[in-house]
Structures are given as structure tokens and as C-alpha cells.
Structure 1
Amino acid sequence: MPPPPQFTARSIPCPFKGCNRLFKNESGLTQHKNSSHRPFAPPPVARATSPGSESGRSMQGGGDVEHPHSPPPPSVRPTEYHPQLNGRPCDKTGKFLPKGAPPPPPDHPAPDDFAPYADRSDFDLADLLYRRVQMSAAHIDELMENWASRPNAANPPFANHADLYATIDATEIGHVPWESFNVSYNGERTPGDETPWKSEEFTIHFRDPRKILQLQLANPDFKFEMDFAPKRDIIVQDPATHGSTFVPVILGSDKTTVSVGTGQNEYYPLYMSNGLVYNNVRRAHRNAVTLIGFLAIPKTDRENQDSTEFRTFRRNLFHGSLRHILQSLLPGMTTPEVVKFADGHYRKAIYGLGPYIADYPEQVLLACIVQGWCARCDASNKNLDGEGGRRSQELNDALFDALDHKALWDQYGIIPDVIPFTYGFPRADIHSLLSPDLLHQIIKGTFKDHLVTWVGEYLEIIHGKKGAARIMADIDRRIAAVPPFPGLRRFPQGRGFKQWTGDDSKALMKVYLPAIEGYVPPQMVRTFSAFLEFCYLVRRNILNEESLQEVDAALARFHRERVIFEQEGVVLSGFSLPRQHSMVHYRYLTQQFGAPNGLCSSITESKHIKAVKEPWRRSSKFNALGQMLTVNDRIDKLAASRVDFVERGMIPGPTGRPPPSDQEQGDDDGGPSERRDILGEVVLARRHIPNYPRRPAELGKLLDAPDLPNMVRRFLYCQNHDTDIPANDIPIDDCPHFVGKIKVFPSALATFYAPSDQSGIGGMYRERIRAVRSWRGGPPRRDCVFVEHDTTQAGFRGLHAARVIAFLSVAAGGSTYPCALVTWFSPIGDAPCPDVGMWMVEPDLDREGKRETSLIHLDAILRAAHLVPIYGDHPVPRHFKHTRSLDLFAAFYINKYADHHSHEIAF
């Protein structure tokens, strides 16, 4: 082979329905008396698997079940660690410390030293103006001038924008300077060859990855979010590595467009993370993913852009650039170096190339293979469902010696003119390092580009273009009729839009399956059901052996059911589709790298916004890249300063409270929560709704709940008595008279452990559950919820579905009880629908045909539930309002695809 080219759970009391063992304890908190119900307790910090490489492998393990209806936090550490690569603390010289020895005292400045800022207020203002508000230089100048012009006002903290920028630039912590190098073609050129790209120089900008990695490892923000040892590793063959911490270096690259039609609009960022931090940290974008470079995008005229010579140069430029950028890590890949870690200890670190985050076109480029082949195995591009052996650099070397250029290309899909950048790095094989890509392989690829497209093609085959258009219009109306749900994107016009994003595909996945039922064969519905099961399983934050068996079963069902598309003439050439084929590798890749959601390209695509698109918008658009580098440098310095000030106790860290923008009657639906002191809770909004009746009889008339006075009395009886009698059977004469007042609240805020969703760094998520008579000036909005029923049953078997009519607080006997007035739904059958795979429910009706109503304690609510209508055989009326779906449809699916937490508790 030629040498590489050279370049210059929470615990919840049961509700009234089915269980009434509620009592008030001495502290005034309402808890369940049954000893199997544990009170709220601080959760262990979420531990997602630390992805390893071929030489640093780790598999996610699940923790003890905390609650059958809430996914438990995983174990604090994997159950087994490597006996030699165990991350033993040492001193600065590399001498190992005794077991249990504390870290050395931090070498901090004085506790009031905010340098280079005068004080905390100056830092907060700089952070507000530059990072959070992104105020322009002209507006900063105007603000400071206004400040200085006020009578008797103190001098402004910064003279102008230049002074503000200079102060940020003076920050030493978190600073790694940008460097660059130029690359040009160094191959043979015939006399008179004036090909433009051969005489052009291409500039690559980068930051030293070794220094960036050391900043990441020492970031005290991650001191509880790191693993220091893999389960196994081949580098232990060298005794000098014993006691070290193996640090997998995670890379990711992907072109991104920042504008259309304004000159240079593409950039090629390169990102780096490390395999010691947990997946939830990487997904939360808390400085665990760092921009380390901008790769060159060579372009030429139309005459040369498709030439073999230019494509070969472009590939070699890419791999040569990566090889050069990563050179500073090479010594530490064989000889451990002493590094300070987030917990304050020094450890010997040995580096290695770990997973590479990339979409399929990028994987093709990285693996040096032909488009249409698999980058991980050599299954034929004409039959990707067939068996294929695992690719490796060792195998490639043997093939290079045995076969010519054409045979390598045609028989193995290998491009022989390029050497992957991993050559020359120990224990690194690009074919083994390519990570699973949920976004492009599964969500945008298999779901949107394949399955959804095939449904449209099937309808055209069966019904013709005109008939298919009529059915697709009704499918769009079904999608538009889905009831609202916290955080769920609505499709008011169905799916009829041209520009798809990853978020669009994720949102459509949540509501698409019920919408096509009845218009496609049951086997096609089962194909979608099996695929969605696979998708939601592999996107979990916690995967153990049982989970992987469920993944295997879902994939087998998908392969068995998808043949319907062949039988109906939709797919004519088989399923040789690289992105669908990638699904067969997910079990192995999970065992290699841990849960795939910590290595998805959605992480780097999200990073594009902060690292590329926003800095570009802040630039003058002329020679923008240099300005973008400066913006990234300053933002990193501000972030590093904040972490340092929090660690030194000079400013508070996350409080766990909702952000200031959280307005109870506003549009906030919730989002990631930084709380770590609970496993879950549901609390009323901070402010009640004024001008509502305070007496039960008057309020009952307003809410169409005439029995509300008796409900309140029975509710209060249950709060003060240990009884197994159903609430409705308690004689009203035994219940206390209520002489207090009731307040009505517009919403409740549920906070719960949901690490697979867009949670905070501790795996917590919060959502707003609403119950108002008028939402945004229109019809009522009354959300549905999961209510605890039987904690001995897993999944939906242990839950009830209910709809909240109103959130209330009842003040009586010196105590205030938060509660909810709800109507109920009961399951249809004792198992989910065999085709759709979701539980079916229908409203509970009394003898008069009205929906049954109860008053339950707020602690009985687990979280919001999403119900999707079972549409039946009748088209949805053209002007049907989604706000009426929960009132007018006769039966519903419990939508376990509303989010990942819903899938886990209703699986």
C-alpha cells in the first residue's frame, strides 16, 4: 500500500380510582402508606455510557428499577472495570496516591477575584451582551453612551464595545489559540497544465486537540459525569499503561450551509469530544463538544469538478488535514501523560481515537469506499441484505496486495487512491470507529426518505394519482387533528411541506402511524410499528442485554413485514439501501460504544447553530471565517469563566428552578431541567386564575361538575383516613363538611427523569400540563395525563389515562391540598392493538352518557399523556378543529411515540 500523501422514579400515591390508601403524615406531606411506595429521594446522577473505541469498549448497563412506570436512572458506574486501566489518581509527577487520598487543594485566586472583570456584575453584563443577547458593536456603544450620559450615574462598566471585547479577550482560562496551515496540490503537472485547483492554496484552521482535550477533562462541570476506566482494552499489554485512564477521542465532521446566494456559504467544521463524559452531557451541549477546526472545501470550475483527479485530491486533502490536526495527540497514545481531571485529581491519561460521528456521505469519505457500499462491512452493494464480513484496515492491506484497482472498486467497493487518516495512529481502524447515526440512518433516512415515500407510491399504484391525492389529503387532515401535547410540534397542514428538517421527521414519527391505518394493508402498518419500536429502543439512554434482545426482535419483525412493499410493487430492486442496512449493525455498535444517542449526528448538527451559524450571522459577511473564529474563542472564554466562578463558589450554579421566562399562563411548554434533588414531581402553577368562584357549588356549575361539593368532601376524608373503600362508595355523611375555599390554576408543571429526551444534564425534563377554559383566546385546552393505578404492574397495565378538567387547590383544616378534577378513559381489551402496537382506550361514561369525573391528589399524576384518535373508516371533515378531537372521537390510542419517556412507560 502506498504511504499516506504528505502535505505542506419517583414514588407516587395512588389516585381515588382503584386505590384510596392516602394519608397525611406528620410533616404535612401526602404520601402513600403502603411500604412498597417509597418517598421522593434525590436521584443518582444520570449515567449514560462512556463511548469507547476498539481499544476502549464500554457497554451501557441498567440500574435497579426505582419505579415500574418511570425509567430508572442507570447505575452510577458500570458493574465491571478493567483491573489495570482503572484511572488511579496520582500526583503531578505521576506517582500513584494511596487509595482514598483527596485531590490536591485547588490553586485558586482570591475568592473575590473576578479578573479580568472588575466584579461579578461586570462579568454577568459581558456574558449577557456578548453571548446571550449577541448585541451588535454599535448597540453596545449606544448602551454605554446612554449609561454614561445619565445624571449622577456611575461610569459604565465598559467604555465601548472594544473595551468589552478586550476584557473578554484578556481571559486566560479556556483559551486555546487558533492556528492554520495551507495545503496545495503536490502531484505531477504536465507543462501548460493551468487547471485552477492545482495552483490554489487551501487554508485549514484548527486548535490544538490535545489542549482542548485537557480542558474538557479538567472541566469541573463534569466532575460527577465521567467514567475513568473501560471494561477492557488491548493497550494493557504495555505495563507502563497500568493505572492509567484511557481517553477515547470522539470526532465529528459535517458540512453546513449558513446562507444561500451570498458568496461563500458552506463551512466544514470539525468537532471533538471525549469518551469519558456521559451521553447526557454530550447531548446537553455543556462544553463537552468543542469546535476544533474548519476543514477546507476545495472547489473548481465545472470542467474539472467531476474529474477523477480532482475527486482524489479532495479526498486526500480531507484525510491529510485530519492527520495533521491530530498529530499533537500521537505521543500520548503510547506514553501516558499526567492530566488534571474534573474531580481535581491528576491521572495518567493515554489517548486513543474513538467513535467518529458522521452521516452516510461523510462515512463514505472517511472509510474510502464507493458510494452505495457499507462502510462497516463488505456486503455487496447489490445485495446489502446478504452476509458481509467486517471491514478492517488489515483486510484492506491484504486486498491491496492481491487485487488491482478495478477489482478493489467493483468487488469490495474500496477506493484505492486514498489512505484513511487513521493509518499511523495506534489501535485505530476507521471501519471500526464509525458510530451509528440515528438522525440520518434511521429518522431522516429509513423513516422519511424510505417508508413515508413508499406509502405515497403505494397509494398511487392502488388508487391512481387522483385517488392517492385524495387519500393523502385525508391523512394530512388526520395528522392535523392530533390533540396538542407539551413539546409536540403540530402539523396544521399535514405533512405537505417541501423543506424537511430532522426535527420535522422526528415530529412526524410521533403521529404518523395512526394516520395511515385503514388506508394501507395491516402488514404495512405492522412494518411501521416494528420500525418505530426499533427506532425508539435504540434511541434510549439506557440499553442492557434485555433491551438489545428487544432491538433484535423489532428488527426481525421489520425485515419480515417490509416485504409487503415488494409484493405491492413499490420496491422493485430489493432493499439494498445503505441506511436501512445500517440497522443490522446497531446491536454490535451499541456493545462497542454504548447507547447510540450519545453519538448521533444530531449532536454535531445542533452544535452547528452555536459554532457556525450564529457566529456567521454576527460577522460582516466579508472574510467571515476569521470573525467566526474570534466569536467562538470569546464564547468559550465566557463559558470557562462561568464554570470557574461557580466552582470557586463566587456565583451560584444551576438552582433547579424553572428559568425566569417560565410564565404559568404563557406559552412555555417546559424543556430540559437542571434539577437533581428529586426523581419526579407534579406541582401547581405559581399563580392561580383570578375571578373564579371559590365555593364548590358555584365552581362545579362553571366546570360542568355539579357533584364537585361531594367530591371535595370525599377527597378530604381520604386525606385523613387509611381506607380501602373506593372514594365514590364512602358515605357522604361520614365525610367532613368543607368550609374553606378553592383556587383554580391554569396548569401544573411535571418534572421527571427522562434522559432519552432533551433533558438537562442530570437527565431531568419538565413539561407543562394545561387545563384552561380558553387557550390563546380560543377553545378550551384540557390535556391528558397518566395516573398511577397499580405499581406492581409494568407499563400501561399499571396506569390509568385521564383528562384534566381543572387544577385546584383545596384549603381545609390548616392544610392545602393540590388536586385535579379529571375524567377517565378505560382500556379496550387487555393488550395493545396487534397492528399499531399501542393501547386503545375509550372514555368512561355514567348512566346518563356523561363522562365520569373524579377529584384526585396531584401526586397521583405521573406526567402528561398523549391520546391520538382512532380515525376509523370515515374521512376527517375538511375544517375539523384539533381542539375538539378529545371531545368528539369515540376511541383513542395511547401514543407511546409522543416522546421517549412515554414509550418507556407505555411499552
Structure 2
Amino acid sequence: MQTLQRFCCLLYYWGITLAIHRDSPPFANHKDLYNTIDATLLGDVAWQSFSLEYSGEKPAGDCPLWMQQSYDVWFWDPHAIVRNMLANSDYTGEMDYTPYHEFQEKDKKHHYKDFMSGDWAWHQSDEIAQDPQTHGAAFIPIILGSNKTMVSVATGQNDYYPLYLLIGNVHNNVRHAHRHALALVGFMAIPKTSKKGMNDPTFRKFKKQMFHSSLSKIFTNLKPGMTTPEVMWCGDGHYCRVIYGLGPYIADYEEQVVLAGIIKNWCGRCLAFPTSLDDGGVSQSCEHTDALVDLPFTNDFPHANIYQLLAPDLLHQLIKGTFKDHLVEWCFPQGHRFSQWTGDDLKVLMKVYLSAIKGHTISVRLNISLPRQHSLVHYEILVRLFGTPNGLCSSITKSKHIKAVKKPWRRSSKHKALSQMLLTNQRLDKIAAARVDFQNHSNFANDDIDNNDNNHEEQQHKETNPFAMEADDYNDVEDDGVVDDEDIIADVKLARSARHYDCAFINIDDKQDGILSMDIVRIFCFLSFTFTNGHMYPCALIQWFPRIAEERDELTGMWMVAPSFNEDGSHDLLIIHIDSITCGTHLLPIFSTQFVPQGLQFHHSLDAYQGFYVNHFIDHHAFELVS
């Protein structure tokens, strides 16, 4: 309601400014705006639905309520969604129509990055090329993802089951940039029963059957295009023959259990026993599942095997599963006075974890038979098949929950909210499609009306600050923690009162590779001077941090450096040209077996410690430079 009031107020004041020009706003009121959006044909895909109900044998007498109910599944035609994605000119230059293999020039190692660089897309295209009917068609991998989410702890329906879709041709950076590369497909039904009935084998089987039947029904329209090529208009302005294929499925472990039709604590990719997962086992197969349980939905589509298509999940398997739930709780049982670990806390801790625990005696367990940890055994083959795991992480779908589920729910009246959420998502997709069309027809003076100011400021920052870095891919993942205004104010005050000197890589030898071509320095200030020729030279006053050894530390894999001093104990300073600075770097103190002294502030660490690790885990840029 507050949003409507603000919108009406904006129209009112807008009308006043236009009145002197004998003009009026484009919309009379919010209803006029909604009617205009609803009448827009761009990005218009109508919602469809079907109902499912239990058809098995019902007990005599008191029949459970879930056996009597009908369950509605709402969805958009995935064929129309894929057509709109392919035609989106916003992805021009950031979409691969053919698979490729990329090798590093210096050592000929296979370099995996985006999805189409993986072996799975390559093999699928080989099969397409061998069939005379499909030869020459571009392969379009259909990547799916689903994850339950809760919108409220109040009574009534407070959880939803959204289903998402993206195509593997789009680059990973586009998926993380929230440019509609991940699309909402529909809302799956959630059958419910009493707490006592949750463990009823009949109920659990019904849930799995309904899940797989729903997926099979939703993607029926794509099935013809998996064997017969279709001609599609693409965003680069050309027509293209395409062939579809079911790709990886993004899901956490609980959902992988349902997808693969396995028992909890088993692996979805191999037949290793739950009591000894580390011993490994042969790969799962559809034939094995056919003999035990009902068929998965992938059996209804050509060239699809759910056991090969379970995607790696960095968020739940590595960040939360392995790191937070085990390593952090193991080494920091009290959480260092953290009442709750947030996603940002964990991401920062991961980058400094090795150096923090080195030198401390920690018990070692050789056998950890847990599914999430065991899944890491399969990561090498999964990277080779699907490219880098960040392109298939459930953090993408969780981040989409905010826009597709949580915000539309908050805007609803909370009474029969789903129908209102469907309409909100339909309008948002139309606005997004219209925005791209307006840009193509030069209706906007700027490239990006929403982010132009922010992008301009960011570009200025990058031009003036040699230490500007790109944001982490996982910054937009929903976190459990809350940051309040007091924290922000405290940080601002600290930043104003404490001296903060950045460290950086500087280039010293173009003939060497990696860190051997660079030195580490601490920058005390930036300055400039004008020479006799009238040219101004921008410079920096630095202190050297030479390497302690010519090899990495054996345990952490990090290079080690130490500050350089003159014979009288003063800092070894030098003035260098700013062009020699490559980028910023992060130095971690070598703590050894000692704990951090009480009262030591982070901005004193470069003076308090005598040796430091060059932390190449801090971001992608540092990792590439040091490697």
C-alpha cells in the first residue's frame, strides 16, 4: 500500500511540473499503469496449470486428507521461455552457440570455464552431428533448478516450491548478474500431512511420484525439439537451427535424494555404501533404479540420465556442508562469540582459514562418511563435464527467490497470495522484455536507466583507484544475518580514525610468470611531481615486502613475504610510478602457534607481525596472478 501511495504522489507532482507545458503524465493512476503493462505483448507468456491427486488404493475408514485433496501446479510454457531467452539481444556476445575446448598456451592444459567449455556439451553435440536429421543444429542445454523457500513463520501457506530454468549457452557471469538468464518456470505443489504421517511410506512415495510427474508434464512441449531441429530467432540478429536437451539439475542434497530416487545418506552419483562413502563405488545407472523404484522424469526425454545430470552445489556441499557445518564447528565450536554465522562471515573466513589454523594441534579424522563431503570426490569429473561449478550453484536459485517469490509475496494481500505472485512475476518479465526492446530502438539515452549512475560512479572509481576489484559472485546470496545501522556507523567512524595502507602487486619483470614477475609492496601515500619537461608523474611511496623463500609454504600453498627495513630500523621506502602497480593484494599475518593479542586492531597487523602470507584465495584476480 505504501508503494501505491508513493506512486500516486509521484504522478501528482509529475503532473504539476507538466501542467505548465500543457502536458500530463503518461499514466492517470496505478491502475492505468498496470493495464498498460498487462497489454504489453513483449515477454508475454501465459500461465498454465494442471491438477494432480492420489490415485492409489485408499484405506477403509479414516482416509488421510492428503489422499483426498487435489494439488495444482502452475507453470509457464518452457518452450516460450527458451524462445525469449534466445531472442534476447542483451546476451549478445555473452552466449556460446557451439561447444568449445580451450587450452592454455604455455602448458597446453585444458581450461574449463563456462558451461559450453565442458565435455558434456561437447559429447552431446557430437551425437547431434552424427544424426543426419539434426546435423548442423546448435545444441541448447536446458538447465533446471528447484528449491523450497519459506516466506514467513506465520500461519497459513508460508512455503513455496519454485522451479527455475536457464540455458547452458549463456556465460556464467550473466547468470550471476541477475539479467533474467535464470527464469521462473512455475510453482510445484507441496503435499502436506500431519507430523505423524510424514514418515508414512505411501505418502513419501506419492510426493516423489508427484514431483517427477509434474516435471515430465511441464517440459512436454520441449520434447519434440529434442529430436527434430527448430528454427529460432537469436539475439544476434540471425536465425538458427537448434536442438534441445535436458542438462544438469541444480538442487541441494535433500532434493537430489528425490530426483535420483535414492535413500537418504546414499550418494546420487555412485553406489558407495552410506557407512563407507569414502571407499567409493560404481556409478549409478537408470537400469539399477528401474529395478528398485519408479522411473525418474528424465526417462521420458531422450539422451537424459538424472545420475549424470546432478549438478555440483558449492553452496550446500562445500560452503555450508563441508566448511560451515564441520570445519568451522570443529575448530571454532563457540563461533568466536558469533551468535549466527552469515554467508558473508563464512566467505571471509574461508579466505583466511588455512593461515589461521596452521600451527595449532587439531585432531584428524581419516574417514568422514557424509554425503555432502563425499560429493566433493566427484567434483573433478563434474568440472570436466559442466565447466566451473559456480555456474551451477544453488546460490543462483536462492538469490532468485528474493525477486520471484519473497518480494511478490510481500506485495500481496497474503490471502491466496499465489495468484497475486503469478501476476507480479508476469508483469516483471514484461517490463524486463520491454526494457531490452526500448534499448534496441534507442529509446534510452543511456545504456542502462537503472544502473547508469551507479555504473558511472563505479567506472570513475576503477579509473582513479588501482585497487578496485570486481565483486564476489556470491554477494547476492541470501544470508541469515542482519546488518543494522549501528554497524555501518561504527565502520565509518573507524575508517575515518584509523590509518589504512593498502598492499599491492607491482610488476618488475615481464619475462617471468606468476608471482616471480612481481613484488609485494605496502603503499603509504600517492603523490605526483612535475619534471623539468613539464610532464606530471603520478607516483606512490611504498615499502618493499620481499619474499622470505623461493618456494610456497608447504602446508598452506601460499608465498611468504616480510617487510624490509634499513639498518637503522626505519622503513625501506621507495617512490615508484603508479603504472607499475598491477592490483591490490591481501597479506595475512603468519600467526604460528600464537593467538591474536587482546586489543590488536586489524589496521595494526602490518606493523605488529614480522611475516605474512600472500593470500591468493582472496579473489579470482589474485589467484590467477599468483598461479
Q: TM-score, normalised to structure 1's length? A: 0.61
* Equivalent AA in structure 1 for residue 310 of structure 2: L
| Corresponding position of 1:381 | 274
Is 2:344–2:475's contact at 8 Å kept on the other side of the alignment? no
| Corresponding position of 1:790 | 509
- For residues 858 and 614 of structure 1, do their structure 2 counterparts lie closer, same or farther at Cα, with a shift above 3 Å needed? farther
- Counterparts of 1:900 and 1:454 in 2: how far apart (Å)? 27
- Counterparts of 2:232 and 2:83 in 1: how far apart (Å)? 7
Aligned with 2:317 (options 417, 441, 444): 441
SS at 1:660's partner residue? helix
Among all aligned residue pairs of Structure 1 and Structure 2, give the percentage whose two residues are the same amino acid.
48
State the shift of 1:803 in Å: 1.7
| Corresponding position of 1:836 | 556
* Equivalent AA in structure 2 for residue 621 of structure 1: K
| Greater relative contact order structure (CA < 8 Å, 6+ sep) | 1
1:286 partnered with 2:179: yes
SS at 2:212's partner residue? helix
* Equivalent AA in structure 2 for residue 198 of structure 1: M
Aligned with 1:348 (options 225, 236, 241): 241
Give the 5 Å matches for 1:774-789.
776-789=495-508
Aligned with 2:519 (options 790, 800, 804): 800
Give the 5 Å matches for 1:116-127.
none
Give the 5 Å matches for 1:93-108.
none
State the shift of 1:622 in Å: 2.3
State the shift of 1:815 in Å: 3.4
- For residues 658 and 821 of structure 1, do their structure 2 counterparts lie closer, same or farther at Cα, with a shift above 3 Å needed? farther
State the shift of 1:250 in Å: 0.5
Give the 5 Å matches for 1:860-879.
860-879=580-599
* Equivalent AA in structure 2 for residue 637 of structure 1: K
Aligned with 1:638 (options 431, 455, 472): 431
Aligned with 1:323 (options 216, 219, 222): 216
1:906 partnered with 2:621: no
* Equivalent AA in structure 2 for residue 272 of structure 1: L
Is 2:358–2:593's contact at 8 Å kept on the other side of the alignment? no
- For residues 594 and 650 of structure 1, do their structure 2 counterparts lie closer, same or farther at Cα, with a shift above 3 Å needed? same
Is 1:392–1:431's contact at 8 Å kept on the other side of the alignment? yes
State the shift of 1:443 in Å: 1.6
- Counterparts of 2:563 and 2:156 in 1: how far apart (Å)? 59
CA offset digits 1:596-617 (Å, max 9, x no partner): 2211111111211222222222
State the shift of 1:302 in Å: 2.3
CA offset digits 1:489-531 (Å, max 9, x no partner): xxxxx7543444444322210122222223225xx7xxxxxxx
Give the 5 Å matches for 1:255-654.
255-397=148-290, 400=291, 408=292, 416=293, 418-456=294-332, 495-521=336-362, 564-566=364-366, 574-651=367-444, 654=447
Aligned with 2:123 (options 213, 232, 235): 232
- Counterparts of 2:49 and 2:273 in 1: how far apart (Å)? 40
CA offset digits 1:578-625 (Å, max 9, x no partner): 112112212222222222221111111121122222222222222222
Is 2:590–2:609's contact at 8 Å kept on the other side of the alignment? yes
CA offset digits 1:290-322 (Å, max 9, x no partner): 011111111112232221111111111111111
Q: TM-score, normalised to structure 2's length? A: 0.87
1:816 partnered with 2:536: yes
Is 2:446–2:452's contact at 8 Å kept on the other side of the alignment? no
State the shift of 1:380 in Å: 1.3
- Counterparts of 1:209 and 1:610 in 2: how far apart (Å)? 19
State the shift of 1:249 in Å: 0.5
- For residues 309 and 838 of structure 1, do their structure 2 counterparts lie closer, same or farther at Cα, with a shift above 3 Å needed? same
Across the aligned residues of Structure 1 and Structure 2, the Cα RMSD in angstroms comes to 2.8
SS at 1:241's partner residue? coil
| Corresponding position of 2:20 | 152
- Counterparts of 1:311 and 1:652 in 2: how far apart (Å)? 56
CA offset digits 1:117-155 (Å, max 9, x no partner): xxxxxxxxxxxxxxxxx9711211122223335673642
SS at 1:436's partner residue? coil
| Corresponding position of 1:683 | 463
Is 1:173–1:641's contact at 8 Å kept on the other side of the alignment? yes
- For residues 816 and 652 of structure 1, do their structure 2 counterparts lie closer, same or farther at Cα, with a shift above 3 Å needed? farther
State the shift of 1:682 in Å: 6.2
Q: Which has the higher helix share?
A: 2
- Counterparts of 2:131 and 2:537 in 1: how far apart (Å)? 64
- Counterparts of 2:268 and 2:425 in 1: how far apart (Å)? 33
- Counterparts of 2:583 and 2:273 in 1: how far apart (Å)? 48
SS at 2:197's partner residue? coil
| Corresponding position of 1:117 | none
- Counterparts of 1:657 and 1:865 in 2: how far apart (Å)? 32
Is 2:466–2:584's contact at 8 Å kept on the other side of the alignment? no
Q: For structure 1, which segment, 331-340 or 882-891, has the greater mean C-alpha deviation from structure 2 after superposition?
A: 882-891
| Corresponding position of 1:29 | none
Is 2:161–2:188's contact at 8 Å kept on the other side of the alignment? yes
SS at 1:431's partner residue? coil
Is 2:98–2:138's contact at 8 Å kept on the other side of the alignment? yes
State the shift of 1:421 in Å: 0.9
State the shift of 1:749 in Å: 4.5
- For residues 637 and 295 of structure 1, do their structure 2 counterparts lie closer, same or farther at Cα, with a shift above 3 Å needed? same
* Equivalent AA in structure 1 for residue 96 of structure 2: D
Is 1:251–1:354's contact at 8 Å kept on the other side of the alignment? yes
Q: Could you list the runs of 4 or more consecutive aligned residues of structure 1 that deviate by over 6 angstroms after TM superposition? A: 655-658
State the shift of 1:157 in Å: 2.9
Is 2:87–2:233's contact at 8 Å kept on the other side of the alignment? yes
Aligned with 2:79 (options 210, 214, 228): 210
- Counterparts of 2:249 and 2:85 in 1: how far apart (Å)? 18
Is 2:128–2:137's contact at 8 Å kept on the other side of the alignment? no
SS at 2:279's partner residue? coil
| Corresponding position of 1:561 | none
Gaps in structure 1 of 5+ consecutive residues: 1-133, 401-407, 409-415, 458-471, 473-493, 525-563, 567-573, 665-669, 676-680, 685-747, 761-772
Is 2:271–2:282's contact at 8 Å kept on the other side of the alignment? yes
State the shift of 1:757 in Å: 5.0
* Equivalent AA in structure 2 for residue 831 of structure 1: E
* Equivalent AA in structure 1 for residue 605 of structure 2: S
* Equivalent AA in structure 2 for residue 232 of structure 1: H
- For residues 663 and 891 of structure 1, do their structure 2 counterparts lie closer, same or farther at Cα, with a shift above 3 Å needed? farther
- For residues 419 and 503 of structure 1, do their structure 2 counterparts lie closer, same or farther at Cα, with a shift above 3 Å needed? farther
Aligned with 1:857 (options 577, 582, 587): 577
Is 1:439–1:502's contact at 8 Å kept on the other side of the alignment? no
- For residues 820 and 170 of structure 1, do their structure 2 counterparts lie closer, same or farther at Cα, with a shift above 3 Å needed? farther
1:163 partnered with 2:32: yes
* Equivalent AA in structure 2 for residue 649 of structure 1: S
Is 2:261–2:289's contact at 8 Å kept on the other side of the alignment? no
- For residues 373 and 603 of structure 1, do their structure 2 counterparts lie closer, same or farther at Cα, with a shift above 3 Å needed? same
State the shift of 1:456 in Å: 4.7
* Equivalent AA in structure 2 for residue 453 of structure 1: E
Gaps in structure 2 of 5+ consecutive residues: 100-121, 477-491
* Equivalent AA in structure 1 for residue 15 of structure 2: A
State the shift of 1:379 in Å: 1.3
* Equivalent AA in structure 2 for residue 634 of structure 1: R
Give the 5 Å matches for 1:653-732.
654=447, 660-661=453-454, 683-684=463-464
Q: For structure 1, which segment, 321-330 or 146-155, has the greater mean C-alpha deviation from structure 2 after superposition?
A: 146-155
- Counterparts of 1:246 and 1:663 in 2: how far apart (Å)? 37
Greater CA radius of gyration, 1 or 2? 1
Is 1:273–1:289's contact at 8 Å kept on the other side of the alignment? yes
SS at 2:247's partner residue? strand
- For residues 505 and 759 of structure 1, do their structure 2 counterparts lie closer, same or farther at Cα, with a shift above 3 Å needed? closer
State the shift of 1:866 in Å: 0.7
CA offset digits 1:658-683 (Å, max 9, x no partner): 9534898xxxxx6xx7x9xxxxx963
Is 1:774–1:781's contact at 8 Å kept on the other side of the alignment? no
- For residues 235 and 662 of structure 1, do their structure 2 counterparts lie closer, same or farther at Cα, with a shift above 3 Å needed? closer
